Amino acid sequence: ELASADRATLHDPILHYEKKREREREREREREREKKKKCIKCAVNKLKYLDAVIKEALRLFSQSVIERVCGKAYKLPPALPGEKSFTINKGMIIWIPLYAIHHDEKYYDNPEEFRPERFLNNHQDNNYRSSFYFPFGLGSRMCIGRRFSLLMIKVVLFHLLARCELKQCAKTSSIKFSEKNLLMMPKDGFWLNIQHRNDKYDRD
């Protein structure tokens, strides 16, 4: 009876202690997860070349046009000698050809070439800092989620490249866009060979 009483006396304190310990362990695991997230974010932000690769991809494969409404009348000069000027009246809808601007050799040297170096801070070709680079639109109606989107792209690529190797396969070819879609959609999709890396990496 005494032993039974002792066990009963210890039962609740032990359970309480174990529950408290489990809560503490869970809080510690949560702190470790948050710490790891911050470390990944810091590491991603230091990958300047990855940032340049993403920016160059957004330049090459940007949306075709953005739409705006003219706020006041504006007279455009003749596009060619002998042609007439053109007035954009207030309320007219304007399409700004982003794709054409991003692929114009007046603004980008060898515009069809994939060259991430043009987006590095120490590179001489830095026109993207001016009015010739806007993959997320421009002005007050620019995409409000652009910073979050860029961070998500970096984090996904960070984990993907840490775990996998991306290689060409027999079906890999230059991307051709669909003529039936206003958005830049691959006509036949795109194909890659994704192989798991053999080197160790913390997957938690």
CA distance 76 to 43: 47
| 75 half-sphere exposure, CB direction, 13 A CA radius | 4
Ramachandran bin of 94, using left for φ above 0, alpha for ψ from -120 to 50, beta for the remaining angles: beta
70 is in an annotated binding site: no
Distances (CA, A) of 25 to 12, 20, 30: 20, 9, 9
Q: Which residue has the tokens 């590095």?
A: 120
Distances (CA, A) of 30 to 21, 35, 42: 14, 8, 18
CA distance 78 to 176: 34
CB atoms within 10 A of CB 2: 6
Binding region for heme: 143
Binding region: 143
